[in-house]
Every structure is written in C-alpha cells, then in structure tokens.
Amino acid sequence: MDSYYHKTSAEIARELKELLDAPSAPQQSQGDSVKFVPRRQFCGHYPEENCGCGSLGANSAGELWPKPVEPTQAIPRNGAMRTFETGATRNTDEGKYDFEGFFSPLVLERRAAYMHKHRLQADGNLRASDNWQFGIPLTAYMKSAYRHFHEWWKAHRGTATAPHRTAEDLEESICSLMFNCEGYLHELLKEKHAKLPDSR
C-alpha cells in the first residue's frame, strides 16, 4: 500500500507546503528561452496518481503528477509560412479556397430568408430545410429557373408587370433563380460523387 496512507495530517501538510514553496515548473516558451508558470493548487487527494480531479499534485516518489508533457518534435513541412505580428506562424493559404472572400454574407442571408419563407407548403405543412436535397428532377429545376430568369430579365429591362415590379419582387426572382441553379448543380454533383469509388 502507498506510504501516503500512513502519513499524519501534519506530515502531509508539511510536505505539501514544501512542494508549493518549490520553484515553479518550467514551461517551454515560443522562443529559445524558458519561462516559468505558477503551479496549480494541490487537491490533497492521495495517492495523486489515482485522483481524477485534474489538479497538479505529487505521487509517492515526490514527482509532479500529472507529469509535464515533453514537447514533441515538429513535423517538417515544405512550402511557405506566414508569420504574424504576434510571432505566431501558420502555413500559407496560397492555393486554398477563400470562402470568406468568394461569397457575400448579405446575399447568403437574403437567400436564407427566401428559403425560410418558402418552407411553408401549399398544404400548410412546414417542409424540412434540406427537403430539396432529397432529390428533385432536373427538368423541374430547369423549367422553374427559366420562369424566374424571365421575371428578372423583364425587371432589368424595366418592363416587369405585376406582381414583379418592386425591389422585393426582384430579389425574390433572383433568389428563386439561384435556388434552381443550386438544386440543378446539387443533383449533378450527387450523381458524380455516387460514381466515385468508395475510399473506405
């Protein structure tokens, strides 16, 4: 049995005080120098290696527990790196998709409003937000897209007729066209990926 179970409370308190008064455990900094960080308070549970509270303590051999993790050897990577003003580094984003720059949050939000509005079906039920992804024939997408493109085209020419004359109507026509284009492309990509070999 661990010797800690046979120590008096005074002995335990004295040993804890000695450990707490000892120099702080070193931690590797970002540079070549080493800085020191304060230790966490001991929980007082014995033996420490069987304690699950996560507090820093010492085992029966007087070693810090949990033991400090040694820094692992960094895996070398080829290519350019970015160094920020803070000193942090990161791989370059060259050649990666810039989703933040490619898309407009204003357009995305307006499309979401359009999609949410049209979740209400003619029968009064509310369809799931991803209902369209279950599969709609390409012909249905094409016919609907052509109608909404025609509405957009007429508004652009200044020849729109009721009920497609307002700015709100124009936004609806564009969102409708975008939905049909996305749905059509979604079906094409589904078929394309279904033909790819399973990599599992």
Nearest CA to 62 out of 110, 19, 125, 9 is that of 19
Burial group, residue 183, by CB count within 10 angstroms (0-12, 13-18, 19+): buried
Distance of CA 85 to the CA centre of its chain: 24
Peptide bond just before 38 cis, omega within 30 deg: no
- For the chain, what is the mean pLDDT? 76
| Tokens 């004359």, residue located | 165
Are 87 and 30 a contacting pair, CB within 8 Å? yes
Whether 23 has a pLDDT exceeding 70, the answer reads no
pLDDT tier for residue 42 given thresholds of 50, 70 and 90: very low
pTM score, two decimals?
0.56
The residues near 44 (Cβ < 8 Å, ≥ 6 apart) are: 12, 16, 57
pLDDT at 199: 55
Report domain extents, the chain.
3-65, 99-194
Per-residue H/E/C for 32-48: CCEEECCCCCCCCCCCH
